[in-house]
Each structure stands twice: as structure tokens, then as C-alpha cells.
Amino acid sequence: MLFSGIATLFQTIGFGPVGARLPIMQGTSFAFIPVMIPAVKTVGMAGLFGGILVGSIIHTLLGFFIGRIRIWLPPLVTGLIVLTIGLSLIEVGIKYAAGGVPMMGKPEFGSGHHWMLAGIVIVVTLLLKSFTKGLLSSASVLIGLLAGYGVAYMMGDVNLGKVAGAAWFMIPEPFKYGVTFDPGVIIGITLMAFVSAIETVGDISGVTKGGAQREATAKEISGGTFADGIGSFVAGIFGGLPNTSFSQNVGLIALTGVMSRTVVTIGALLLILCGLIPKVGAVISTMPISVLGGGVIVMFGMVASAGLNMLSDVKWNSRNMLIFAIALSVGLGIKAVPEALQHLSGTPVLDTIKMLLSTGLLPVALIAVILNVVLPEED
């Protein structure tokens, strides 16, 4: 949380060429998870952070020319990537709402109790967004979460035991887990950094399109990519995970219409506070997973909606429909049926490629970018 907040300040306030200076929240992306978990299992935490540091440097270097290759990343590509992120995360939202991943396979998973708490969040959010104006409408998701939390507390689902044991102040220790450099992990983190950079282009475009009804500038895209890479590097030094722009924030801006750097900067300061004062973070972590699930169902759905909004600018001729169809079908298809790549193994390189393709996001990004460059435009 501490370095998500710091990286967000890099993005909203910026310094020099670093930062898009837009209301963009930074955080650890789900896109890195399928790479990081196998990395820790094979080379340990030290190898993971070595990969994060090298991958972050390469991610930063992308900022120097990503604005120049923006022609390769039209709304068809960026919108498709944001849509894929939203569609991929919807599964996570459902798992949260049903009781959380640790509960899967247990009788309590998917019980009416969990769905009731998630449903309260969704219903309160919908009612406030649809039938109120001003602050109540803009804060509908937050108020929905608080309503679900309140009901969960009254039902005895909130455990405050860990709050008393949490420290009042703590500073992270640099290189706590050590650093080693493994080629496979470095390649994996670097490739996902490339996907993350494309995601950032889509997020910045989505924010400017949804909040300001304009296209993002090359300076904003480059600055946002610099903030991603430098924020990830600083986080990696202190045991934090790679930071990138949060696509959920695109959905939130589209939902609320609030396009304010000040608001997101205050959010960044809150994250820093939570990181330095573990007791604050402990209070937030007491929120039941099913309550959080109700909120993320709304937010992840809005990410997909933001992707569709970006795709609304696409001229849907047969060429673009073909690119969309092949990229989405292959990417989400492999993610849904990872066993289709079971023969892509045997060496560390092949295992890394299989792991990256199974994320779904990487094949969507690569297929969309390559086909958009290779296939001729239609008159």
C-alpha cells in the first residue's frame, strides 16, 4: 500500500517527464500474478525481486518511445486490452462475492450469506447512483461498501482481533528478501511489463476519453509509462510488487464523472498512511471478502464497459472485426483452457512461455498489435 501510494504521487503530481499528471491510481496489477507465483516457487523471493528490478528498468525505458509507437496502439488495440482485463477480472469478483478463493470447494462457498452481503453492496451502489445526485451519487461505490461492512459487522462477520496486535508505525526494510537474477523470471516480468505498458496506454486513453472527452497526448502516455517503471523499481527495492495504472480507476471515473487529480492524490496519501501505520491497514483488511466482492463486481464490470467505450471509436469493418475476434478468442480461450498448452513444457523457456500465454492478456495484446500492423487497412 505504501508504494502504491508513492507511485500514484509519481503519476498525479509527477516530476520532470515522469507522470501523466492525470487522476490515475497505481497498484499491483493482476496481470503479474500468473508470472510471480511460479517464479517464487522455482527461484524464491530473491529471484522474484531481481526480476522485478530488471523488468522495472526496461519498463521505464519503454517510456522514451511508447509515445512514438502509439500508431500501433489505436483504440481497437487499447480498448480490446482494457475489455480483456475487465472480462478476466469478473471471475475474481464472483469468487470474492461467493466467499473468497480460500473457501472454494467448501460448503460455505457460494452460500446465501455471502451473496447477501455482496448483494447489499451492489443494490446500495445502484440505488445511490441512479436516484441521487452530487456527493451521494459520486461516492455510491464507497457508501455501498460501507453499508455491506456495517451489515457484516452486525452479523458478527468482522474480526477486529488483528487490529489490536498491529503496530502503530513501521518503515519497510530495503532488500528484505535479498536479490538474485534468474533469466526466466526476468524474461517473464519483462514481457508482462510490456503488456502492462500497453494497459497503461489504454488506461490513460480511457481516463481522458471517459473523463475529459478527448484523446490522450503522447506526453501523457510517456509520462504515465515512466511513472509505472520508476514506481515499480522503488517498490521492488523495499519488497513491494510491480505497480501499474489500475484499470478499475477507469471504471470509477466513467461511473462517477470525477476527473480530479486532487481526489486521487488524497487517495495516494491515504495509501501511504495505511502503509506506514499498519493499524490503519489492519482495520481496512477486516472487510469481509464477500463485501469487497460486491464492490469489485461493479468495478470490474465497469472496466469492461470502459473498454467497450473505447472500442466505440473503432470503425467496425471486416478487418477490425477479424482482429478483434481472433485476439479475444485465442486469449480468453487459452486462459479458460490452459490444458490446451500442456505440451508446451519441458524446458525453463517453454515453461515461461506457457505461463505467459496462460494469462490470456499477453496473447490478446500480441495478436492485436501484430495483426493491426500487418493487415492492410480497408478503404
- Quick: pLDDT tens for 112-145: 888 999 999 999 999 998 888 878 887 888 899 9
pLDDT band at 236 (very low <50, low <70, confident <90, very high): very high
Residue 39 lies in a domain: yes
C-alpha cell, 310: 473505447
Q: Which of 2-6, 48-52, 83-87, 178-182 has the lowest mean pLDDT?
A: 83-87
Closest CA to 294 of 152, 103, 122: 122
Phi-psi map region of 226: left, alpha, beta (phi>0 left; psi -120 to 50 alpha): alpha
pLDDT band, residue 320 (cuts 50/70/90): very high
pLDDT, tens digit (0-9, with 9 covering 90-100), for 215-224: 778 888 899 9
Is residue 139, in this structure, part of any structural domain at all?
yes
Q: Which of 155, 201, 167 is nearest to 62 (CA)?
A: 201
Q: Quick check: 318 and 378 in contact, CB under 8 A?
A: yes
Q: Classify residue 249: in a domain, yes or no.
A: yes
- Which DSSP string do the residues of 217-243 spell out, in sequence order? PHHHHHHHHHHHHHHHHHHHHTTPPPE
pTM beyond 0.85, yes or no:
no
* pLDDT at 308 > cutoff 80: yes
pLDDT in tens, 248-275: 677 677 767 778 889 899 999 988 988 8
45 domain-assigned? yes
Looking at the domain assignment, is residue 81 inside a domain?
yes
Given a cut of 90, is residue 327 above it in pLDDT?
yes
Task: List the grid coordinates of 5.
Answer: 501510494
- The total of structural domains in the chain comes to 1
Is 379 inside any structural domain?
no
Enclosing H/E stretch for 10: helix 2-12
Q: Which of 122, 74, 164 is nearest to 290 (CA)?
A: 122
Angle between helices 218-237 and 33-62 (to 10 degrees): 120
Confidence of residue 326 (pLDDT cuts 50, 70, 90): very high
Binned at pLDDT 50, 70 and 90, residue 57 comes out as: very high
| Grid cell listed for 49 | 525481486
Q: Is 36:360 a contact under the CB 8 Å cutoff?
A: no
pLDDT for position 370: 92
**Is residue 204 one of the residues assigned to a domain?**
yes
CA proximity to 201, closest of 65, 109, 297: 65
pLDDT band at 310 (very low <50, low <70, confident <90, very high): confident
Domain around 283: 2-374
* pLDDT digit string, tens, across residues 98-117: 888 777 778 888 888 889 99
- pLDDT averaged over every residue in the chain: 85
